[in-house]
């Protein structure tokens, strides 16, 4: 009916449709669509359910009935119409006339815009510049010319009633008006109402601060003469640190109380006392009853960890000077020792009999027996020379095969320059057992073999040179310098027992190199001042290092680059360490003359840490020129340990 009274026309203001509700807009819009037929229903804005029992639905402009269209469609017809009629989705039913109306594209677009909350008119600009009616400038005339209401001059009866109720409530005491805020600060005693049954109260953990000492005679303005300091006492008092002084001030004698000056440290002392009262945690310490035995780790008894060496069985005497190095044959039958008396002696292990003595041209620094059972060779280093000896002990077939292997070498056509000179021994040296002589540029300190017996590594300690480690290949008589530059002074080297790794120990670090990839794999930090010796577990995942500052560091390579455990059992510098090839044992020799045997069990389970238990201290060597045990090594098959010392003896502990 509103539409009939005010039909919208072309010149309506933009957005006039938008101010109506969506269903009203849709209804008006449908009415536009049937304007051409002019069958408008004139019943007005009434519920159309009132006509549901009548055959007609309303009246047109001429007062004639608008009859309902015949709609006998059931749900099946509705579904078929939905499937077959392509315009089904844009067909709506006019509730006022009951007719089906197909919406045009413009009408569908208008519906979509209304559903999205947009303006009905496409051309309407919703972002027009706003006109600011109320500016910050105060104007003389009002913006609107509307006169003030009458109610703005008459007192409000509702407010009068509210105020009356509040006054009555205050009189009756139901509402208490706000008290004026007190400007004086309020202080609270935190511990005044402390619950005696609380934890603090029950245990009485808090200790009240001690009261300050009352002033004595020395603080008087007229103290007795014995409290006054003499000139010497005053000088001594001034030189003392403030915390060590008995008195914090100098006693003075004054004529009268008026002559007493102001105390200069008054504020300082008050401040320190306040700090002491609220910052010093005075609390009773709960005493924990701990059984001292629980703090000691539960280690197995040594008798449960047998076998390990316990007694000195044999002493190998013959050297006239300190024995620096010993090595045992892979069969365990022969022992070789090198001494500062310029001799190398070969011993039979079971009888302590010296079978052969070979003289060399200098003090022997290192000996190493080839670990390959099919070769009988011993490397001996003295001065700048390394000699490969064939001692001729044991199986003659092996000795003959070794000589044939060395003599069958053919020189290559192209001879490359090498840092080391190779020479074949002749004459008297050959008769003594010398086979190959290797001349190095400087003194050689250590020799060690690779597990397969073809490669020999030598250490030439020289901090200024890049040639500190050389590796010789005996079968091809070839020498290579694996490192272009050495970081630090190299102390000792060792080959990994099963993998292609090479361990180089400098004074503080152990570097692990991969020989195939030719790169640094790990760098172990020994946490000691000077590494002296190194040994690698037969499994290959653990390393021990001895140092001159009395420490033995055990590294677990899978765990960390820092020591898993550090043992400080020796009183003096460690000279040598060794692992047993089959038994869970390792040993260390020191300048205190002792050899300490430890049980070191490495488990296959990666989650279980190695078990390290010291089991025996072996004594026997006498300390000579402040040197004790210089080298230790295990028997390859038995739980026996050999040690050589500065007293010129080699001892066997079984």
At 293 the three-state DSSP class reads helix
pLDDT in tens, 422-436: 888 888 888 888 889
Determine, yes or no, domain membership for 25: no
Determine, yes or no, domain membership for 562: yes
d(CA 432, CA 390): 9
Lowest mean pLDDT among 157-171, 191-205, 491-505: 191-205
- Determine the structural domain holding residue 506 and report its residue range: 303-410+418-653
How many C-beta atoms lie closer than 10 Å to residue 609's C-beta?
A: 14
What's the CATH code of the domain at 404?
Answer: 2.130.10.10
Q: Please enumerate, as own/partner, the contacts of 107-113 that have beta carbons within 8 Å and a separation of 24 or more.
A: 107/29, 107/33, 110/29, 111/26, 111/29
Whether 439 shows a pLDDT value over 60: the answer reads yes
d(CA 228, CA 251): 6
| DSSP secondary structure letter of residue 21 | -
What's the pTM? Answer: 0.57
d(CA 449, CA 388): 12
Whether 647 shows a pLDDT value over 50: the answer reads yes
Lowest mean pLDDT among 132-146, 207-221, 334-348, 606-620: 132-146
Whether 572 shows a pLDDT value over 80: the answer reads yes
pLDDT in tens, 539-568: 889 999 999 998 999 999 888 889 999 999
Per-residue confidence (pLDDT) for residue 166, from 0 to 100: 93
- Per-residue pLDDT, averaged over 216-237, amounts to 92
Across the chain, what does the average pLDDT equal?
A: 85
- Comparing 331 with 197, which gets the higher pLDDT? 331
Determine, yes or no, domain membership for 512: yes
The DSSP string of 107-124 is HHHHHHHHHTT--S-TT-
At 499 the three-state DSSP class reads coil
How many C-beta atoms lie closer than 10 Å to residue 443's C-beta?
A: 15
Three-state secondary structure readout of 406-465? HHCCCCCCCCCCCCCEEEECCCHHHHHCEEEEEECCCCCCEEEECCCCCEEEEECCCCCC
pLDDT in tens, 353-381: 999 899 888 899 999 999 998 888 999 99
Determine, yes or no, domain membership for 5: no
pLDDT in tens, 452-510: 888 999 999 887 777 889 999 988 888 888 887 878 889 999 999 989 999 999 988 99
* Look-up of token digits 């066997």: 652
Determine, yes or no, domain membership for 17: no
d(CA 595, CA 619): 7
**If pLDDT is split at 50, 70 and 90, which confidence band does 198 have?**
low
Q: How many domains does the chain have?
A: 1
Determine, yes or no, domain membership for 401: yes
**If pLDDT is split at 50, 70 and 90, which confidence band does 618 have?**
very high
Determine, yes or no, domain membership for 491: yes
Determine, yes or no, domain membership for 486: yes
- Per-residue pLDDT, averaged over 187-207, amounts to 66
Could you tell me the two tokens for 466?
């890049």
């Amino acid at each position: 009916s509103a539409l009939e009274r005010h039909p919208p026309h072309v010149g309506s203001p933009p957005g006039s449709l938008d101010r109506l509700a969506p269903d009203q807009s849709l209804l008006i819009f449908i009415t536009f669509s049937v304007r051409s037929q002019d069958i408008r229903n004139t019943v007005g804005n009434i519920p159309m359910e009132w006509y549901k029992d009548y055959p007609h639905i309303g009246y047109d402009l001429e007062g004639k009935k608008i009859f309902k269209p015949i709609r006998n469609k059931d749900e099946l017809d509705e579904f078929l119409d939905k499937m077959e009629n392509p315009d089904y989705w844009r067909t709506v039913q006019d509730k006022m006339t009951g007719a089906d109306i197909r919406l045009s594209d413009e009408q569908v677009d208008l519906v979509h815009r209304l559903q999205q909350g947009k303006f009905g008119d496409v051309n309407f600009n919703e972002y027009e510049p706003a006109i600011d009616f109320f500016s910050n400038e105060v104007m003389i005339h009002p913006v609107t010319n509307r006169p003030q209401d009458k109610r703005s001059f008459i007192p409000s009866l509702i407010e009068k009633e509210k105020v009356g109720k509040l006054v009555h409530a205050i009189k009756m005491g139901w509402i208490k008006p706000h008290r004026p805020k007190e400007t004086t600060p309020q202080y609270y005693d935190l511990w005044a109402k402390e619950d005696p049954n609380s934890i603090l109260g029950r245990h009485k953990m808090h200790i009240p601060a001690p009261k300050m000492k009352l002033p004595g005679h020395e603080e008087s303005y007229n103290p007795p003469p014995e409290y006054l300091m003499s000139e010497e006492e005053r000088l001594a008092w001034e030189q003392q640190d403030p915390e060590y002084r008995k008195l914090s001030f100098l006693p003075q004698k004054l004529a009268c109380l008026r002559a007493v000056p102001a105390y200069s440290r008054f504020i300082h002392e008050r401040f320190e006392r306040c700090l002491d009262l609220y910052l010093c945690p005075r609390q009773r310490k709960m005493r924990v009853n701990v059984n001292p035995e629980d703090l000691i780790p539960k280690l197995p008894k040594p008798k449960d960890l047998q076998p390990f060496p316990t007694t000195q069985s044999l002493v190998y005497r013959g050297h006239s000077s300190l024995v620096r190095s010993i090595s045992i044959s892979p069969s365990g039958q022969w022992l070789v020792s090198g001494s500062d008396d310029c001799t190398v002696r070969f011993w039979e292990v079971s009888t302590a009999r010296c079978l052969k003595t070979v003289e060399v041209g200098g003090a022997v620094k290192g000996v190493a027996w080839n670990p390959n059972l099919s070769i009988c060779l011993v490397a001996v280093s003295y001065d700048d020379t390394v000699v490969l000896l064939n001692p001729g002990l044991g199986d003659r077939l092996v000795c003959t095969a070794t000589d044939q292997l060395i003599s069958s070498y053919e020189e290559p056509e192209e001879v490359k320059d090498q840092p080391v000179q190779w020479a074949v021994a002749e004459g008297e040296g050959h008769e003594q057992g010398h086979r190959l002589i290797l001349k190095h540029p400087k003194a050689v300190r250590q020799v060690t073999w690779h597990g397969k017996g073809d490669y020999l590594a030598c250490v030439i300690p020289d901090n200024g040179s890049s040639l500190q480690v050389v590796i010789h290949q005996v079968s091809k008589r070839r020498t290579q310098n694996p490192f272009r530059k050495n970081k630090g002074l190299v102390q000792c080297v060792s080959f990994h027992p099963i993998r292609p790794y090479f361990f180089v120990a400098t004074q503080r670090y152990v570097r692990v190199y991969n020989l195939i990839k030719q790169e640094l794999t790990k760098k172990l930090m020994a946490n000691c001042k000077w590494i002296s010796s190194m040994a690698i577990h037969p499994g290959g995942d653990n390393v021990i290092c001895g140092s001159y500052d009395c420490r033995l560091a055990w590294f677990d390579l899978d765990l960390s680059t820092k020591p898993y455990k550090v043992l400080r059992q020796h009183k003096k510098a460690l000279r040598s360490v060794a692992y047993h090839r089959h038994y869970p044992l390792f040993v260390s020799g020191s300048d205190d003359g002792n050899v300490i045997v430890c049980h070191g069990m490495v488990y296959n389970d990666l989650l279980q840490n190695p078990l390290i238990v010291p089991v025996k201290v072996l004594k026997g060597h006498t300390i000579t020129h402040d040197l004790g045990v210089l080298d230790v090594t295990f028997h390859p098959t038995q739980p026996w340990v050999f040690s050589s010392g500065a007293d010129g003896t080699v001892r066997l502990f079984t």
